[in-house]
């Protein structure tokens, strides 16, 4: 297993060179098309001052990349923030923190209110991390916000930067296909994420994050939408070869991943998947929650 690490480092460097194309997360995030590659560059780690502010930012960075281990009370699965916001929240087209921080407060359809930056992070804690968000004024939230603030150094406030979010990948004409998705998964993803989407652990900690099952994002997370997962995947996976999948392959494999069970949507309405589907999933992009696939209703949730 240890042999992975250097390889991964190289792969990660390779993926930073990719220059994906469009924008517009049709979900909550509305971002304009970016024709050009992202131009904003967050500050280098070496530029961090050696004072109280620098210390707070370093704490925020640690929480961002090592979330599960450092915040066991707030995280209910096996994830870290940096599993979905790649290169420690720096990578363009991987919902970088510098694309996000200067854009809040902002209205979000998902909870129908104006969200502060802290609200937005709390959303990822509740759904993507399947956990209990820390209070907005907690030391951890302050540190995570300070890290994002610092990454956004010299970014304009309230201006969409190219590179924000996960660029939208439009649904192919013929939709998506589970069988083809399974094939892509076996050939290009299973080697890292496991045959059953279970990820890989070394000494009890994930070195490859799970894609479904009890330690994955829950049914309320943005990634459960096939369109959002396809966008993430097309621009960020396979790790080190981002942009190599066709739109069709990205949609097919996203559908395959999101047809598997994962922790229940914490907003579950009266214990009913159907009521929850109607209230929260009927107009939430393309998703399988509460739908029948091969005779089985998807969205029952995993136990534990
Ligand atoms: C399972 C993947 C996943 C994990 C883990 C995750 N996020 Fe996210 N995050 C997303 C997705 C997907 C979006 C896009 C929002 C949407 O479309 O709903 C997002 C959006 C965001 C945004 C807003 C981006 C913008 O441009 O407005 C912030 C800020 C954010 N996440 C922070 C975090 C933090 C901090 C953590 C760790 C506590 C975290 N995320 C963990 C998937 C994840
Ligand atoms: C070389 C190993 C590798 C390959 C191959 C790979 N991934 Fe990943 N993937 C990772 C790693 C590592 C992360 C987390 C990134 C980080 O923490 O910096 C990740 C993150 C993800 C995530 C978001 C985090 C989560 O667990 O939900 C998804 C979704 C994903 N990969 C899907 C795919 C798909 C689909 C494929 C195949 C097309 C694929 N990956 C191929 C290593 C890989």
Examine the domain organization and report whether 230 and 127 are in the same domain.
Answer: no
The answer as to whether 164 is a domain residue is no
Mean pLDDT in the chain? 90
Q: In this prediction, what percent of the chain has a pLDDT beyond 70?
A: 87
Examine the domain organization and report whether 113 and 218 are in the same domain.
Answer: no
| Domain housing 35 | 24-151
What is the average pLDDT across 247-251? 98
Examine the domain organization and report whether 124 and 226 are in the same domain.
Answer: no
How far away, in angstroms, is 106 Cα from ligand 2 center?
29
Examine the domain organization and report whether 142 and 251 are in the same domain.
Answer: no
Q: In this prediction, what percent of the chain has a pLDDT beyond 90?
A: 85
Nearest to 169 by CA among 219, 225, 217, 235: 235
For the chain, where are the alpha helices, taking DSSP H only? 4-15, 52-65, 67-70, 86-89, 97-100, 117-126, 139-151, 178-188, 190-193, 226-236, 247-257, 273-276
Model pLDDT, residue 10? 40
Distance (Å, rounded) from C-alpha 8 to C-alpha 202? 15
The verdict on the CB of residue 99 being under 6 Å from ligand 1 is: yes
Examine the domain organization and report whether 114 and 222 are in the same domain.
Answer: no
User: For the segment 27-53, what is each residue's pLDDT rounded down to a tens digit?
Assistant: 445 554 444 567 899 999 999 999 999
Model pLDDT, residue 108? 87
The answer as to whether 304 is a domain residue is no
For residue 23, is pLDDT > 70? Answer: no
Examine the domain organization and report whether 191 and 105 are in the same domain.
Answer: no
The verdict on the CB of residue 29 being under 6 Å from ligand 1 is: yes
For residue 178, is pLDDT > 50? Answer: yes
Model pLDDT, residue 114? 95
Examine the domain organization and report whether 117 and 211 are in the same domain.
Answer: no
pTM: 0.91
Q: Which of 151, 170, 190 is the last residue of a domain?
A: 151
User: For the segment 76-134, what is each residue's pLDDT rounded down to a tens digit?
Assistant: 999 999 999 999 999 999 999 999 999 999 998 888 899 999 999 999 999 999 999 99
Q: Residue 190: which CATH number?
A: 1.10.760.10
Give me the number of domains the chain comprises: 2
Q: Any residues with Cβ below 6 Å from ligand 2, and which?
A: 11, 82-84, 86, 184, 188-189, 191-193, 208-211, 216-217, 223, 229, 232-233, 237-240, 245, 253
User: For the segment 196-220, what is each residue's pLDDT rounded down to a tens digit?
Assistant: 999 999 999 999 999 999 999 999 9
């Amino acid at each position: 297993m240890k042999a992975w690490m250097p390889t991964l480092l190289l792969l990660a460097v390779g993926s930073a060179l990719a220059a994906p194309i469009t924008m517009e997360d049709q979900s909550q995030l509305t971002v304009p098309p970016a024709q050009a590659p992202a131009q904003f560059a967050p500050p280098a780690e070496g530029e961090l001052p050696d004072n109280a502010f620098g210390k707070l930012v370093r704490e925020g960075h640690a929480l961002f990349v090592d979330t599960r281990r450092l915040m066991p009370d707030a995280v209910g699965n096996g994830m870290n923030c940096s599993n979905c916001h790649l290169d420690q929240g720096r990578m363009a087209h991987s919902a970088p923190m510098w694309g996000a921080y200067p854009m809040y407060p902002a209205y979000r359809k998902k909870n129908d209110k104006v969200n502060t930056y802290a609200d937005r992070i709390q959303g990822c804690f509740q759904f993507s991390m399947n956990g209990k968000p820390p209070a907005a004024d907690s030391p951890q939230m302050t540190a995570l916000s300070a890290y994002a603030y610092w990454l956004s150094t010299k970014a304009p406030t309230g201006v969409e930067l190219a590179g924000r979010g996960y660029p939208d990948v439009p649904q192919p004409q013929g939709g998506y296909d589970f069988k083809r998705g399974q094939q892509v998964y076996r050939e290009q993803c299973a080697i890292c994420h496991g045959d059953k989407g279970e990820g890989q652990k070394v000494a009890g900690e994930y070195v490859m994050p799970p894609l479904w099952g009890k330690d994955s994002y829950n049914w309320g997370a943005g990634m459960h939408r096939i369109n959002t997962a396809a966008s993430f995947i097309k621009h960020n996976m396979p790790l080190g070869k981002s942009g190599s999948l066709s739109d069709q392959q990205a949609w097919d494999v996203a559908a395959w991943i999101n047809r598997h069970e994962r922790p229940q949507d914490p907003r579950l309405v009266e214990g009913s998947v159907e009521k929850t589907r109607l209230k929260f999933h009927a107009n939430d992009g393309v998703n399988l929650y509460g739908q029948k696939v091969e005779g089985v209703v998807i969205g029952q949730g995993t136990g534990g």
